Structure 1
């Protein structure tokens, strides 16, 4: 239902936030504000403040923030309209009548909830009935106590096509189909969707049953069957057990994501109630937002098999654009072949807590994944690793955080190649001296020193620098790689240094601003290259130009590494005259030619 902004503004004006929050939290007067220990996370020193004059609450510990309506929604799990109605009643205001369509949708949802709640009751009855023997034996074998069965509302769907349909015939077939309780093939009569399965209710944050997960008893496929998406249920926007876990999560100051229903139930039985699970899909953006309401760094706990690790990486990549100073993830990998149930059965709660203590931050998990994704024996393979890492950093929309991720991964990359000590500690080895960013010391080997002295092709570098001057937004993504290029031409090197300094110092990165920065040192824009790259023309399509810039920079950077390795291989061959040394020299010559061809393919003929 859409409410007029004027109504909501009046409602907020008539409502004291402290009166709403004070029903749940003991508030202490602190000047014009109130303070308390935060109800959204566990703390001993108050960092939660309520300001009636400004009409909001804010926690400086977990960043929880909102008005009176928001507190009822986030703090008590109320639906938005229910929160509005409760506050309006206390303020003596009448909620505007909904438009007919919104009213119809609300009534339809209410009717469907009646159906799913009735189905949940019926499934629980069947578990204790004549047909539920096999299901009861299964529960006993899984160690599910009566208290656990009752807490999670677990039931049983008999292996028959029409028993639920008959039991709930008072609702009518259309509502049973719409709620997901019946399936309706085109050529047959509708029949029970769930048959011969242990039934696990899926509840919304208010604890109302909106869908089900069914676990087959014995052998068969699919092992788990979920309700379809309905007006009540969107599997990508809900989390299993969120209704019970949110209070436990705030008390424990953490939220744990596991793979399935039974993992959640097993952890709860072991005394870890702050666990939730996605509903048959990879963790979605909407689910991440739900998790971040409860914890700054949700812990994702996946099985150690290939499927579990693939799910972990998908979740990490999906989270990247949403990351912020108080929003991240950490990851736990269980021993291969074990799930949370196995861990707690073998060692109880303490064993699982020990696993959680080894959680990896997102930055570490992605680094390890990309580092181990392929061999790193050749310059091309190492360049590929750097490119993949920088692509991940590029996905982070918070530019300050993206820069920190690039710096962290570049530091690890340098350490992996044994050159971390040479590069120093700041920005990939560049350090600011006398108000100017200066490059790191040259590489140690004789061949590498030769590359640093002679540099790489002047025309290509000139084209590259012209591209970054014309399309300076690309510097945010490529500055570390650009900073490392060994450039022998003094004017081009000074131009590069100016561009890098601007990017590192967060100065203006628009085209006019870059021109001003370069002109201030008498450099001007780089001379136009005779090479026909798209990015050397001011009127080129920006997306294509930026894409070609990144590809050209990667090729030129790889050329420098290949040239270094080729000089070393040539020196080794001259000393050894061995077949192995000759083969390595020829492989690197081939790689050098391939890089030149890659650069040529980016050039356009006018």
Structure 2
């Protein structure tokens, strides 16, 4: 059944694009966010009208069950169909072939969640998909670097200002499938988060997901923006050069792991050092990159007064290391 769904999603994307061109309301919003017309065209942005059944204009058979399967139409408790996306700027989500497989919609005003994604469908699983990857593919290949951000507009704004190798995780937490895909495309993955507490928590989750997938041949780092900025506002205020300069200060996976594990532990006392080992242990056990694991053990040894060999034993890491550790 996927091809009928792809056809319906393509028709909906065309409809939303045409609606954007005739919607001063939506155009004004995009202009207020600094999005140029050529950028909107590159990302195939559109607009879902406010009406409950606006898609009737694109689909004469509004009762087609495939519209619901594709996530374009929903049904209320009374059995009445309605458009899932209403009065939203629409961001088509593409697969590797460039086909539309889902949408993200940003509300312009009124109630409802700020962003709404397509539901899981036979062609769209958000834990596997990265927004903007089709547009970023050439730049990622040329630089072997990819920036991972959290929002659709972050990707669009970065690309417009010259940072072409950015993708987003569709407003969901980073998954192992995301990480595997990113590492298959680039040797350097830079996760970029807002500098607030929520951004730190999101980064910690991303770190946890990365640990089983990182190898010694790749680099994963974590870039935190100033607290008052997200990637969109930062690049609009300061430009691409400032963004790249800040990226050189991104925390390495090793450094961020240690900072996370050490947070809240008083290393002046044996109890605090034991707590650090206990907090680090689950993450260490996930790591299969032997050189990275050895560096982390050496660093932890400096803070805990255990030797690297003792830490490996305490954390049951012999199988992870795949190499001998000299006992001192």
TM-score normalised to the size of structure 1? Answer: 0.50
Cα deviation per residue 1:570-605 (whole Å; 9 max; x = unaligned)?
Answer: xxxxxxxxxxxxxxxxxxxxxxxxxxxxxxxxxxxx
Q: Are 1:475 and 2:296 counterparts?
A: no
1:256 paired with 2:77, answer no
For residues 350 and 115 of structure 1, the distance between their equivalents in structure 2, rounded to whole angstroms, comes to 41
Q: How far 1:114 sits from its partner (Å)?
A: 0.5
Equivalent residue number for residue 349 of structure 1: 240
1:481-560 alignment, distance < 5 Å: 504=325
More helix by share: 1
**CA RMSD, 1 decimal:** 2.4
CA contact (8 A) 2:285 2:317 kept: no
Q: Highest relative contact order (Cα 8 Å, sep 6+), 1 or 2?
A: 2
Give the 3-state SS of the residue equivalent to 2:116 in structure 1.
Answer: strand
Alignment pair present for 1:311 and 2:149: no
Alignment of 1:67-86 (within 5 A): none
User: After superposition, where does 1:403-442 map in structure 2 within 5 Å?
Assistant: 403-411=294-302, 413=303, 428=308
Count of residues in Structure 1 that have an aligned counterpart in Structure 2 = 322
The Cα of 1:409 is off from its aligned counterpart by 2.5
Pick closer, same or farther for the CA change 1:367–1:401 going to 2, 3 Å.
Answer: closer
Displacement of 1:382: 2.6
Please give the residue correspondences for 1:225-304 in structure 2 after superposition, counting only pairs within 5 Å.
Answer: 225-304=116-195
User: Does the CA-based 8 Å contact 2:265-2:275 persist in structure 1?
Assistant: no
Are the aligned partners of 1:239 and 1:277 in contact in 2 as well (CA < 8 Å)? yes
1:384 maps to: 275
1:112/1:478 Cα in 2 relative to 1: closer, same or farther (>3 Å)?
closer
Output the CA distance in 1 between the equivalents of 2:151 and 2:157: 10
What does the per-residue CA deviation read over 1:41-76, in whole Å, with 9 as the maximum and x for residues that have no partner?
A: xxxxxxxxxxxxxxxxxxxxxxxxxxxxxxxxxxxx
CA distance in 2, matches of 1:358, 1:400: 22
Indicate the SS of the match to 1:298: strand
Question: Match for residue 20 of structure 2?
Answer: 127
Cα distance between partner residues in 2 of 1:503 and 1:274: 39
Q: How does 1:138-153 map to 2 (within 5 A)?
A: 138-153=29-44
Task: Identify the structure with the greater strand proportion.
Answer: 2
Relative to the length of structure 2, the TM-score reads 0.91
In structure 2, the partner of 1:100 is: none
Q: Which residue of 2 aligns with 1:193?
A: 84
Query: By how many angstroms is 1:348 displaced?
Result: 1.0
Shift of 1:323: 2.0
Q: Is the 8 A contact 1:235 1:280 kept in 2?
A: no
The aligned runs of 1:43-82 (5 Å cut-off) are: none
Report the counterpart of residue 359 of structure 1 in structure 2: 250
Aligned-pair CA distance for 1:233: 0.2
Q: How far 1:343 sits from its partner (Å)? A: 1.3
Q: Does 1:395 align with 2:286?
A: yes
TM superposition shift of 1:191: 0.7
Contact 1:259 1:277 in 2 (8 A): yes
Larger Rg computed on CA atoms: 1
Runs of 4+ in 1 over 4 A off after TM superposition: 374-377, 398-401
Deviation per CA, 1:243-279, whole angstroms, max 9, x where unpaired? 1111111112210001110000000000111000001
Map Cα deviations across residues 220-261 of structure 1 (whole Å, 9 max, x no partner): 330000000101100001100111111111112210001110
Q: Partner of 1:160 in structure 2?
A: 51
Structure 2: which 5+ runs fail to align? none
Structure 1: gaps of 5 or more residues: 1-107, 431-438, 440-473, 481-501, 507-606
